Amino acid sequence: MEAVEDSVRANDFIILRNCFGRFDVTLKLEGMNFAESIKLRTAKALVNHAEEHLDLKKNKRFIESSSGNLGVALSMIAASRGYEFICIVDPNTNATNIAIMKAMGANVVVVNTKDESGGYLGTRKKFIRERLSHDNTLIWINQYECEANPAIHFSETAHQININCSDVRKIYIGAGTTGTAMGVSNYFKKYFPKIDLIAVDSVGSVTFGGNASPRYLPGLGSSVPPIFFKKESFNRLISIKESQTVAVSRYIARKYGLLLGASTCTVLAGMYEDINATEEVLVAISPDLGSKYIDTMYNDEWCDEKFGSEWRNINLSSNEPKTYQVEL
């Protein structure tokens, strides 16, 4: 019988024809596994590393910070391997993900104090460090610094794109912890350096060097500069407002009948904004699906509360991008 962590598949690709009236997009759907996100790859790699190098098999207890999807994936693996898991989340983590984690036995702690940049990541990491100082049996698997994070996306995610999309010319990748982004970038820079690599992030994140500002959609972005990230590994960097992510989510749902997650819709918004996106073969990594966002990104009242009417006034049916927010 297939183990939970082995439900990640290699060949879940779909093509969105005539997306935004401008190009076809090949989407690598990473949400087609039991955890419904690309974070199942990351979770498996981190837990395996902790078992091999951090005495996790002996201590059987670990802690991690998550905006949601990684927490779900780690909860599944912890339950299946018999480990205690403590997940540190924040108010932007959607209630569905928290409920799923708890259902699988995870101890979920919500931190409510913002860090110096106005986000929660610094606070989540500070909580973990304080907890570790009082509990020497607890292991932090540390997705933010463990090289197993980008390594799994080098060996699996990028390799699968290569063997399934041999004629790819441009790859668009979301930037969160940047484990996926750097793993994929390192692979293609090494083996296929002529392919354009474009990193996409949310406005308000500090990853690309911009100023911190409030963000409401979990997944991409950071209030603390990611250790893995290297600007020079990408041909372009594109920052997207969350209101545009919402507009893209509705466009994709009504044009293709697909509910995609916030990270995926941000990446697709980045493709829309990229004036260099052409009819060449375009590939985007879709980190997650949208069912967990029904009460937030797909809820009109929630979006009006967070973004006002801005998301309603974005017209994605035109053939020309409206803005082109790029930081180099």
pLDDT tens, position by position, 207-252:
999 888 889 998 888 888 899 999 999 999 999 999 999 999 999 9
Residue 323: per-residue pLDDT: 45
User: In the chain, where are the structural domains located?
Assistant: 4-34+147-313, 39-140
Same fold, 4-34+147-313 and 39-140: yes
**Domain 39-140 architecture:** 3-Layer(aba) Sandwich (3.40)
Please tell me which residue, 44 or 7, carries the higher pLDDT value: 44
Instruction: Spell 216-238 as b/e; 16+ CB within 10 A means b.
Output: bbbbbbbbbebebbeeebbebbb
Share in percent of the chain as helix, strand, coil (round to 5): 40, 20, 40
**Domain 4-34+147-313 architecture:** 3-Layer(aba) Sandwich (3.40)
pTM, full prediction: 0.91
Residue 326: per-residue pLDDT: 41
